[in-house]
Structure 1
Amino acid sequence: MLDVLKNQRTYALIGHGGCGKTTVAEMLLYVAGATPRLGKIEDGTTVLDYEPEEIKRRGSVQPGFATFQWEKNRHFLVDTPGDLSFSGDLGYILASVDAVLFVVDAVDGVKPLTRKLWQEVSKFRLPTIFLITKMDRDRADYQMALEGIKHQLGVKPFLQNVPIGKAESFKGVVNIVENKAYVFDANGKATETPIPGDMADEVEGLRESMMEEIAVCDESLMERYLEDPASVTLDDLLAATRKAVVCGELYPVMVASGLKCMGGQRILNAAQLFFPSPLDAPVGQKMVDGADGSAVAVSPDSPPACFVFKTQFDQFAGQLSIMRVLTGTIAPDAALFNTRSEAKERFGGILLLHGKETQPCKEPVGPGAIIAVAKLKETRTGDTLCDEKKPFTLAKPKLPEPMISYALAPAEKGDEDKVFQAMSKLLDEDVTLRLTRNEETGDMLLSG
């Protein structure tokens, strides 16, 4: 299992509403062969935005999950809502992934909500690749978006790719690390091509800056670079870049057009190359912090522990508890202890998520896996499930406090209990909601 885990990737797509996250996610799924056609928001055919309300709004109102293979390696992808009204539990999602693909719109650039989302991501110190998307659109301005990342988000961008052309003439990228150019065909497939002559000087200057930025993060590489720059190979650069990304010292910037399927292959390659596995830590053994100040080592051989970060209701499977395997190995018939309810929960199987579809997983899964388990009776969002003999409770991220409240009243007097019962599913799905009763007026209050 160690070899599988070392090549496994678990990451979230994050960005403000309308920046093109879901379109990028659909492109990645299509390029990876996880879906037979490229889903489009305008047509209501996306894999990850499938609820009627999402199709109507043309935007995500809940996280979308996908499990797929890229180059025979398993990827777990979480597409997060970009509207703050639906992202109150973002902290739970960030605690459940190993990296972030942060999407910035080439037309609108960095917006106030982009800054707010980046502040939240920064708290978790997750390795991040910035993706400037919508490069094919009118008014697409790569330089403006890049300056926004640099000055408004306070990030020093590491230029992994730079665009060839802009707006309707966007047709490819130059990979600065590889020192190669690629153009996209009508299906988005990348083919190597000579670096355009009018970009040669710019690329040479960017490449020199890139070499220096990487060398600064690796002392041994810096010594070799200063002594003999020609001795530094591409493999050396890629290894040093990955190390710096995992440590949060470099933030690669890439470009794409999700709608035209341009750049998906390059993004997946970068995620595989630079994002950490669930076992990787900047220094030493990766640990998970407990609520009591303890910590456990992340390993498939450790006692099992899972964090339930989302609850959804499926019309066929019923309640789905969506969780990340924190450590240990989870079998389809596992029996784990809920540290909050002190109940023992027996799994009736493990499900892998792909939009609204679920697929039974017959093999044990290890750290980093995003799985769903149906019909757990005593488990809610935010709970930790673990080995009863080795109890462990994750130190949960703090969620935002409610900002507004509405009074609820039953249609008929005496039906208050029915209202409470009906609201229970909603409260399970959105952990940021609160249902209380005002002692003075007796009103039921829904706050969020």
Structure 2
Amino acid sequence: MNSNNSRNLRNIGVIAHVDAGKTTTSERILFYTGENHRIGDVNDGNTTMDFDPQERQRGITIHSAATTVHWQGTQINLIDTPGHIDFNLEVRRSLRVLDGAIVVFDGVAGVEPQTETNWRLADEYRVPRIAFINKLDRVGADFQKVVAAIQERLGTRALPLQLPLGAEGSFRGVVDLLAMQALVWDHDDASTPPRVEAIPPELLSAAQAARARIDEAAAEQDDALLNAWLSGTELPLDALRAALRRGTIAGAFVPVLAGSAFRNRGVEPLLDAVVAYLPAPGEAPGSLPTDGPLSALAFKLNADDHGAMVFVRVYSGRLKRGDVVCNASTGKAERVSRLYEIHADRRVERDELVAGDIAGIVGLKEVLTGHTLADRKGAPVLESITVPEAVIDVAIEPRTQTDAAALAKGLGVLVREDPSLRLRQDADSGQTLLSGMGELQLEVAVETLRARFGVAVAMGRPQVAYRETITAAAEVHHLHRKQSGGPGQFAELTLRVAPLPRGSGVRFESQVVGGAIPREFIPAVEAGIRRAALAGPFAGYPLVDFEASLVDGSHHVRDSSALAFELAAVAALRDAVAKAAPVVLEPVMAVEVITPQDYLGDVIGDLLRRRGHVQGQDARGNAVVVTAHVPLEQMFGYIGHLRAISSGRAQFTMQLSHYAEAPERVALAA
């Protein structure tokens, strides 16, 4: 993934809701750019980007997959990401290192829940986007309705650069609004280029109006164009495209294109738009300069028996095979054994990486997702990657005692590869609990243990991953003193706890002055608080959303130690939380149900019985979309019940919305 001229390089991702056609679009990109000589099909299980056996078996993307293609003299590093909410971390870490994205929309369903989630992530990472409205050959597809939904639900200015020719089964091409001509695909054969013809008379008025909106949007980005536009002068095409590029990169608007990837219609213009409008390295908002010393971010790793392959984005400098790099996040030095250009499941060895490259490194022993690689100690640490909340636990154990060691090794690899998987021991039962974002993620993890590590695993029923928090402030004084003949243990401290807003996590501050507690013992107090917070005193669930303040304390010249202050902090936090009105929090899911109108009453009634709060209803074609907030505890087994009450015609998606205080009945049973 090398480029001597970063302006001829695009680092992009393909993001969307599950089943919007992401992987199909990616496979067509591989074909049209000449990377592949056949087109993979999700239904046939022979795609290049979904190469994991579980992906092919399940027909969904689980892991983000990278590859390199070339189009019109430009190198494109492409990452195909999952659309299922359970694998949202893969989208997060991909968007963190990408310069641009193609957002694929289903021409029938429009803006779907995971599309909206991924769009917000792209907003967070300031990633410029192109919208590709796909599946316009499907019954019920409506280009203009999707454009309106993008503007309304995503809060962006959608700027169509094309209009569809025909609709549903008669969709045959697009109107190119910049060239003011029609591109027609007479056949589904991907090897046949589009035919250029005049815009049909019945579309000419709509095309002229849409082109006027493009001219206006472009003129807003350029004073010279604005003057020409105000005077009624025709805008030069090159200057128009340059202004559209600036506006796209700045986030002033999102270009919208049309097509049907499955029928091989609209993919070549999409590639043209990637080159024309998405940024090169260093051009996106907030980008780091590409010159200067080495700075790279590890955003993903895959481990096997031969070690870990660490995927990195190089932001500046150069990295050569055999170089010693500093992990700026830990301060440790490591040697680079090999460098690889990634083509899905293939690797091509490289001698050097340069700014803008996305590639794989072998030889790094202790680098994790989110770590920064640099050429020296003390180098700036890049913004890391936020890991989403785990909401479901399962108890997991080997079926035979001989599998215990292999299970421990396999679980260690899985949680290192995927930080959204968490491991902990249940304080009461002693069971190993594996936590994740959803049932599907945990099912995939268990199957991976069997397939990769040969471990026969017994998995318990999924349980809700509750949390604990406090609802009042409290202050305690604790004295830890132990004497056993030799040096003793002494630590005295006053600790105050107070609640924080949801999602704040755990905060610690020291207010100690005058050396009452030596500075070297303060980190031990924080470590004790964070250790105690792993299991709250109410029901043993992780304690979150509170602030612990070390107010005062004292020490003994001989008997005080870091261990003594850590143990004192553990006991003090437990005492303080018990006095701070602790409660149990439960995950509440944002649920979207798509149902025929005939079953609407039954669907809403069922959601209400599940302690759900209906947020709204919206027509989508001949169906109704119901959005609701429902506690996760009530959603286990929901798909079977939904099919039963809708004669199999309704479907649903859900993702974590927030944590809320659980009713007393649920808290006592948790």
TM-score exceeds 0.5:
yes
Tell me the equivalent position of 1:159.
160
**Structure 1 range deviating more: 157-166 or 113-122:** 113-122
Tell me the equivalent position of 2:218.
214
Say whether the 8 Å CA contact 2:99–2:284 is kept in structure 1. Answer: no
- Distance of aligned partners of 1:261 and 1:201 in 2 relative to their CA distance in 1, 3 Å threshold: same
Tell me the equivalent position of 1:291.
none
Tell me the equivalent position of 1:223.
227
Tell me the equivalent position of 2:329.
340
Structure 2 residue identity aligned to 1:393? V
- Distance of aligned partners of 1:2 and 1:82 in 2 relative to their CA distance in 1, 3 Å threshold: closer
Q: Distance between the aligned counterparts of 2:262 and 2:3, measured in 1?
A: 36
Say whether the 8 Å CA contact 2:339–2:360 is kept in structure 1. Answer: yes
Structure 1 residue identity aligned to 2:316? T
Q: Distance between the aligned counterparts of 1:28 and 1:138, measured in 2?
A: 25
- Distance of aligned partners of 1:255 and 1:344 in 2 relative to their CA distance in 1, 3 Å threshold: same
1:135 is paired with a residue whose SS is coil
- Distance of aligned partners of 1:314 and 1:143 in 2 relative to their CA distance in 1, 3 Å threshold: farther
Identity level (%) = 30
Q: Distance between the aligned counterparts of 2:229 and 2:292, measured in 1?
A: 41
Q: Distance between the aligned counterparts of 2:205 and 2:60, measured in 1?
A: 41
1:191-340, aligned counterparts within 5 Å? Answer: 191-230=195-234, 232-282=235-285, 287-288=287-288, 298-299=289-290, 301-313=291-303, 318-340=307-329
Shift of 1:414: 9.1
2:207 is paired with a residue whose SS is helix
Shift of 1:220: 2.8
Tell me the equivalent position of 2:120.
119
Shift of 1:200: 0.8
Structure 2 residue identity aligned to 1:303? P
Q: Distance between the aligned counterparts of 2:114 and 2:427, measured in 1?
A: 37
Shift of 1:173: 0.9
1:365 is paired with a residue whose SS is strand
Structure 1 residue identity aligned to 2:152? H
1:382 to 357, 370, 375: 370
1:309 is paired with a residue whose SS is strand
Q: Distance between the aligned counterparts of 1:29 and 1:79, measured in 2?
A: 11
Q: Distance between the aligned counterparts of 1:217 and 1:202, measured in 2?
A: 24
1:52-71, aligned counterparts within 5 Å? Answer: 52-71=53-72
Say whether the 8 Å CA contact 2:128–2:284 is kept in structure 1. Answer: no
Shift of 1:319: 2.5
Shift of 1:412: 4.5
Tell me the equivalent position of 2:411.
423
Structure possessing the higher radius of gyration over alpha carbons? 2
Shift of 1:226: 1.1
Shift of 1:137: 2.2
1:395-410, aligned counterparts within 5 Å? Answer: 395-410=383-398
Q: Distance between the aligned counterparts of 2:172 and 2:70, measured in 1?
A: 27
**TM-score scaled by length of structure 2:** 0.62
Structure 2 residue identity aligned to 1:47? T
1:161-215 residue CA offsets vs partner (Å, 9 max, x unmatched): 1111122211111111222221124334223211111111111111112211221
Shift of 1:80: 0.6
Q: Distance between the aligned counterparts of 1:308 and 1:365, measured in 2?
A: 14
1:354-384 residue CA offsets vs partner (Å, 9 max, x unmatched): 111111123x332221101124222222221
1:87-146 residue CA offsets vs partner (Å, 9 max, x unmatched): 224322111100110010012211222222222222122111000011222322222222
Say whether the 8 Å CA contact 2:324–2:335 is kept in structure 1. Answer: yes
Q: Distance between the aligned counterparts of 1:311 and 1:276, measured in 2?
A: 26
Tell me the equivalent position of 1:295.
none
- Distance of aligned partners of 1:185 and 1:355 in 2 relative to their CA distance in 1, 3 Å threshold: farther
Say whether the 8 Å CA contact 1:66–1:354 is kept in structure 2. Answer: yes
1:214 is paired with a residue whose SS is helix
Structure 2 residue identity aligned to 1:219? D
Shift of 1:389: 4.7
Shift of 1:37: 0.7
Say whether the 8 Å CA contact 1:5–1:278 is kept in structure 2. Answer: yes
Say whether the 8 Å CA contact 1:339–1:391 is kept in structure 2. Answer: yes
Q: Distance between the aligned counterparts of 1:2 and 1:372, measured in 2?
A: 16
Shift of 1:67: 0.8
**Structure 1 range deviating more: 234-243 or 395-404:** 395-404
Structure 2 residue identity aligned to 1:205? A
**Structure 1 range deviating more: 271-280 or 186-195:** 186-195
1:21-40, aligned counterparts within 5 Å? Answer: 21-40=22-41
Q: Distance between the aligned counterparts of 1:170 and 1:413, measured in 2?
A: 60
Tell me the equivalent position of 1:138.
139
Between Structure 1 and Structure 2, which shows a larger proportion of strand residues? 2
Q: Distance between the aligned counterparts of 1:222 and 1:318, measured in 2?
A: 57
Q: Distance between the aligned counterparts of 1:419 and 1:41, measured in 2?
A: 32
Determine whether 1:411 maps to 2:399.
Answer: yes
Determine whether 1:15 maps to 2:16.
Answer: yes
2:340 is paired with a residue whose SS is strand
Shift of 1:84: 0.6
1:406 is paired with a residue whose SS is strand
Shift of 1:287: 4.3
Tell me the equivalent position of 2:453.
none
**Structure 1 range deviating more: 72-81 or 176-185:** 176-185
Q: Distance between the aligned counterparts of 2:98 and 2:284, measured in 1?
A: 13
Shift of 1:63: 0.5
Shift of 1:23: 0.1
Gap runs ≥5 in structure 2? 437-670
1:88 is paired with a residue whose SS is helix
